[in-house]
Amino acid sequence: MATDARRPVRSVAALWAAMLPATLLGVAEAVLLVCLRSSRPLLDLDVVPFAAVVYTLFGALAAAPILLACRFGHRPPGRVSLVFWLVFLACTDFVRLGLDVPLGTAQGMLVFGAGGAVLLLAFALLGRRSEPPPRRAGEGFRAGAGLALVLGAALIVPPILSRQVFRIGDLPARTAQAANAEGPPAPETKEVPGPPSAARPDVILITLDTTRADHLSAYGYFRDTTPVLEAFAKEAVRFEQAWSTSSWTVPSHASLFTGLFPISHGARYKTAEEQAAEPDLTSALHHTWIRPLDPAHLTLAEALRAAGYRTAAFVGGPYLRALFGMAQGFDWYDDRMVLSAGPSLAAYYWLNRFVVELEPDIFRFGHAYRRGDDLDEAVFSWLDRQGDDRFFLFVNYFDAHQPYWPVAAVRERYPGWDQPMDRDGLPLLFRAVMRGEHKATLEELEWLHSQYDAELRFQDQQLGRLFDRLRAAGRYDEALIIVTADHGENLGEHGRLSHGFSLDAPETHVPLLVKFPRSDRVAAEVREDPVSLVDVLPTVVERLKLPADLFPRPLQGTSLLDRSGPHVVLGELYRDQWRVERFGERFSRQIRSFVDAEGHLLEITRLGPDGEPTGQKELQVFDPRSDPLETKQVPGGPGYTSLRDALHRWLEKAPAYKPSSWLLELDRSSQGAELAETGYGGP
Ligand SMILES: [Zn+2]
């Protein structure tokens, strides 16, 4: 027996002992992440079981080398494993947080090489024990039981806690109610809920995030990206010249929901001064200063709910989480992202690199957004519970947004998909291009176009599934359905990628299609006059004949049915501190744009590092009709003056936004758990 106790540990016992520290560290990392980063900790606990499983598997994969090290050095496997995983996690976090580069880069590999060398050196310095550590009776059993206990608890406890606040639909409703409780109540319209009617049809608003009009076959694009929208256009009014009010998610959606331009609704990037004076509600989560939509506004959802509608929203993108104030007026606001805290896990990066890329169809770990098919499932299950009541449904599809990660069924659909590109290196490419350090090559652009277009095709299929479901439920024909986008996407134009950098056509020329209830007999047509996203809300108000004085502030849009004169088409982009720091001082600027039948004016005001105007201004005018990508500026002339005058005349009239006491008071109350749960509270 005495000699037996000195024999090396058994492989199975070592396997348990090697996995246990990995599992423990994974759970600890996940819990820490949820505590530090999440605005809705209980809801985000889903990352804990995910981490437990993934790290346990990692532990199993690393068991063989750990076992070898133990046998060679005669050291207990539990301790060797703990040191190994600590070094591994430290290296991973140093590469992604310290160096801010993908793990697969030369720099990343160097860090791991150094980590490995440190481990070897440590072992060498410790020396080899002359004898294996004594084998204690039941060691393997204890390690196995410990692992089972930790894994079991991580799999069972978080879902139970999470369900405490997330009984089917409980949380979205509470989120919305709490969000609304902060602002003034919607005016009484003395309406009671009831079935849709000719006067009050169902209203469905769909935003295709990051979808530029000129890449849709419904807008004449040469690839068949949107057959569903093409068919939809045959029974809808399609606006050829629809423009967003900004080039990123929050201000554009705020315009859709309030009928106001950013200058008046205020949901935009804040200046340093505003950031100091107002509650910081978003920067810890989104690394930048964003003002959520002020609860003092009356939103489309609030107005429709007051008019007897059931209101529900299903959003795919992280910038529409309730945190940004968009939940106002929705009985049901479903902003669950798949594992919203997942991307911050160290293990996620490894999975992303080695597993997810192999099969994105099956693995959706750590997506920071919700894919269209998952979103559809959530909408369908809500639709099934609606009975006959009329509803306002808002859906935000997010598939066209980066990371351009189409499913296998469409990935190879368009030429260019097979260009040698490292998906993991995409963030680096984007950053290098936007910093002006690299000009995207033809091959890179071909690949980007093919994958963006494939995502559009996938997104269109999901839209088709939604339409089919509405038809099957008998709710399609008589519904008022609006399909649009919040902004476009640069795909190499002007040497840019992504969006939120300017206000020219690739970033702000969006699709807009409106299908009126069939019994309205509004003929399908193509409209050429410039219109804006602010016109959507007044269109719904007019069609539903809601009281004109319902909205406390005068609406700045005009009903799309109104053809008596030109619509005001204004765009605004404010300085974003994060962009300036990340991409350079040339983005320290504020841009305003104005579109009319004459052209598209961009007025660029240069700002200094402190955000104050430097006195430099630049005017650019394009003719989007003859030059849809806006590659050539129209030579200066009277057009410049008349467009600039029109822009300023309009800006002078628009009441500038002032934060309401509701917004400012979030500062004090948001410290508590109550608001953290509503989604308004920062972490
Ligand atoms: Zn967006």
pLDDT digits (tens, 9 = 90+) for 183-219: 666 777 667 778 888 889 999 999 999 999 999 999 9
How far, in Å, CA of 629 to CA of 637, rounded?
21
The widest CA-to-CA distance across the chain, in whole angstroms, is: 101
Reply yes or no on whether the pLDDT at 4 is more than 50. Answer: no
How far, in Å, from the CA of 335 to the mean position of ligand 1? 14
How far, in Å, from the CA of 246 to the mean position of ligand 1? 10
Reply yes or no on whether the pLDDT at 340 is more than 70. Answer: no
Nearest residue to 655 via CA among 378, 296, 264, 312: 264
Q: DSSP secondary structure string, 100-157?
A: -S-TTSHHHHHHHHHHHHHHHHHHHHH---SSPPPPPTTHHHHHHHHHHHHHHHHHHH
Sign of the alpha-carbon torsion through 442, 443, 444, 445: positive
How far, in Å, from the CA of 133 to the mean position of ligand 1? 59
How far, in Å, from the CA of 486 to the mean position of ligand 1? 5
How far, in Å, from the CA of 106 to the mean position of ligand 1? 33
pLDDT at 138: 73
How far, in Å, CA of 327 to CA of 410, rounded?
33
Beta carbons of 533 and 205 less than 8 angstroms apart: no
List the single range of 421-425, 496-500, 599-603, 641-645 with lowest mean pLDDT: 421-425
How far, in Å, from the CA of 257 to the mean position of ligand 1? 14
Within a 13 Å sphere around the CA of 214, how many CA atoms are in the beta-carbon half? 20
Torsion, Cα 518 519 520 522, to 10 degrees, reads: 40
How far, in Å, from the CA of 396 to the mean position of ligand 1? 9
Top-confidence residue, 324 or 42:
324
pLDDT at 168: 36
- Residue 512 β-bridge partners: 484
Q: What is the mean pLDDT of residues 298-309?
A: 92
Ion ligand 1 — residues with CB under 5 Å? 209, 249, 486
pLDDT at 576: 93
Q: What is the mean pLDDT of residues 169-184?
A: 50
How far, in Å, from the CA of 595 to the mean position of ligand 1? 21
Reply yes or no on whether the pLDDT at 36 is more than 90. Answer: no
Q: Which residue reads 């606990």 in tokens?
A: 45
How far, in Å, from the CA of 518 to the mean position of ligand 1? 30
- Residue 532 β-bridge partners: 243
> What is the average pLDDT score of the chain?
83
How far, in Å, from the CA of 111 to the mean position of ligand 1? 35
Number of residues that this document lists for the chain: 683
How far, in Å, from the CA of 488 to the mean position of ligand 1? 8
How far, in Å, from the CA of 571 to the mean position of ligand 1? 15
- Residue 26 β-bridge partners: none
Top-confidence residue, 373 or 591:
591
Confidence band of 355 (pLDDT split at 50, 70, 90): low
pLDDT at 295: 87
Tokens in use for 614? 């430097």
- Residue 593 β-bridge partners: 571, 602
Beta carbons of 188 and 546 less than 8 angstroms apart: no
pLDDT at 174: 44
Q: What is the pLDDT of residues 621-643, one digit of tens each?
A: 999 999 999 989 988 777 788 89
Confidence band of 678 (pLDDT split at 50, 70, 90): very low
Reply yes or no on whether the pLDDT at 447 is more than 80. Answer: yes
How far, in Å, from the CA of 250 to the mean position of ligand 1? 7
Beta carbons of 122 and 83 less than 8 angstroms apart: yes
Torsion, Cα 308 314 318 324, to 10 degrees, reads: 0
How far, in Å, from the CA of 98 to the mean position of ligand 1? 28
pLDDT at 182: 58
pLDDT at 127: 66
Nearest residue to 272 via CA among 37, 578, 651: 578
How far, in Å, from the CA of 102 to the mean position of ligand 1? 24
